[in-house]
Amino acid sequence: MKAAPVSNDIILRTGASIMVPVILLWGFYVLVHGAIGPGGGFQAGVILAAGFILYTTAFGLKEAKKILSVKLLMVIASTGLFIYTGVGVLAIIFGGNFLEYGVIPIGETPAEASKYGIEMVEIGIGLTVMAIMLSIFYDIVLKEKGG
């Protein structure tokens, strides 16, 4: 089978360059609305990863890795989880139990603090899901190329 990672298809490339920013923007929208509306970290992470996957299929693995290298993805994945537990530990520091967002002094009421706390956790999840999805995709592409 001939591996053709870099597409010369002008329609795909033009389409991707228009769509990728929109997909990423939508991903961030879903991410920050996770606490109060439909959406959340997992969904947003997958959408963000899908944007990058479209970019990779259009412009090739080499170009994609210039933006998000495998090492950077590892760091992003770890950071996401770090944010999650960080928020939990922050609640412990402010005298609550693990992940008891209400005690963190942001916002005016405990409910508002909960909202921000959940939002931070969602961002953490989103980053990790995106990074893991992309690194799985990179691995599959490398396998196909026999690398």
Q: Which residues are near another protein by CB under 8 A?
A: 71, 74-75, 77-78, 81-82, 85, 88-89, 91-92, 96-103
Q: Show the CA angle centred on residue 85, arms to residues 82 and 101, nearest 5°.
A: 130
Residue 125 Cβ, how far from another protein at the closest point, in Å? 13
Nearer to another protein, 25 or 140 (CB): 140
Nearer to another protein, 49 or 127 (CB): 127
Nearer to another protein, 44 or 121 (CB): 121
Residue 82 Cβ, how far from another protein at the closest point, in Å? 7
Residue 104 Cβ, how far from another protein at the closest point, in Å? 12
Nearer to another protein, 60 or 96 (CB): 96
Residue 8 Cβ, how far from another protein at the closest point, in Å? 35
Cβ contacts of 125 within 8 Å, gap of 6 or more:
40, 41, 42, 45, 80, 84
Question: Which has the closest alpha carbon to 50: 19, 77, 73?
Answer: 19
Q: How far apart are CA 48 and CA 52, in angstroms?
A: 7
Residue 1 Cβ, how far from another protein at the closest point, in Å? 24
115-140: string of b/e by CB count within 10 Å (b at 16+)? bebbbbbbbbbbbbbbbbbbbebbee
74 is written with which tokens?
Answer: 């590892």
Nearer to another protein, 16 or 90 (CB): 90
